[in-house]
Structure 1
């Protein structure tokens, strides 16, 4: 059974709420899921190699910047080859800033640079998920599981 990690960073709790929705939906598909919230230096980048699939969530800071909690993680990605990993990116965004969800896009490119060839579309939620957003999260989780199964075949 493929192992999935949901790795996320959340300041206000919105991205954590999205991660919780993802965890419930992925688990309901019978997959082995581990969910970890990243704080400063508490996750080793090489641990990603223990998983077949990665759901990565982040909020966006300021004008499209990655959160300070993820700066070391971003830099450490230089050390890892993620070829063959199925990756999905999600996060809470705020439309009052000009670069809506810029950190999500930045990490999507970074995962592709590191060899993850199965990067799903980026799921961006305006602040805290409402009922329509919950449904979008559920669909994203289903698409992720389909991609994982298709890749495993």
Structure 2
């Protein structure tokens, strides 16, 4: 059975809700899933999972959340070759750099040697019905990428 780790940063609860939607999607796909808050997680924990996911919000004009900076820096030092990754998160379309932290984490994952299993998913504020469908599709693609490699 495939295993997945979701690490999330959430200020308003939107990204925690995104992580919850993904957790349920992975459970429905028979994936062993673990979810934790980013400030309580070490990037090296991803080494123990097949599928690695970061869910984050973007602060202000495109900045990483303060609680995610150390994890972001540590992630880039990991060797996650053979792993599948995906990134999702919320932002506000009011800002020019909409959900930029999601893209930043995707770039950080690429430095680890992990393979991107699905395009990033960006949610405008809180997830709506169409976002939930996109997140379910995101989970499906990540699991399919894992099975294609194994």
State the TM-score bracket (shorter-chain normalisation): over 0.9
Equivalent positions of 1:14-53 (< 5 A) are 14-39=14-39, 42-53=40-51
- Partner Cα separation in structure 2 for residue 123 and residue 6 of structure 1: 14
Displacement after TM superposition at 1:50 (Å):
0.6
Alpha-carbon distance change, 17 to 98 in structure 1, aligned in 2, over 3 angstroms: same
RMSD (Å) for aligned C-alpha atoms: 1.1
**Contact 1:7–1:37 (Cα < 8 Å) also in 2:** yes
- Partner Cα separation in structure 1 for residue 74 and residue 132 of structure 2: 32
Q: Who is 2:63 aligned against? A: 65
- Partner Cα separation in structure 1 for residue 113 and residue 27 of structure 2: 26
> Helix, strand or coil: the match of 1:58?
strand
1:141 is the counterpart of 2:139 = yes
- Partner Cα separation in structure 2 for residue 140 and residue 46 of structure 1: 23
1:110 is the counterpart of 2:108 = yes
**Contact 1:59–1:92 (Cα < 8 Å) also in 2:** yes
Equivalent positions of 1:81-92 (< 5 A) are 81-92=79-90
- Partner Cα separation in structure 2 for residue 147 and residue 59 of structure 1: 25
Q: Which runs of 4+ in 1 moved over 3 A?
A: none
73-82 or 96-105, larger mean C-alpha shift: 73-82
**Contact 1:108–1:119 (Cα < 8 Å) also in 2:** no
> Helix, strand or coil: the match of 2:102?
helix
- Partner Cα separation in structure 2 for residue 79 and residue 112 of structure 1: 11
- Partner Cα separation in structure 2 for residue 78 and residue 54 of structure 1: 13
**Contact 1:84–1:118 (Cα < 8 Å) also in 2:** no
TM-score (norm 2): 0.95
Unmatched tracts of structure 2, length 5 or more: none
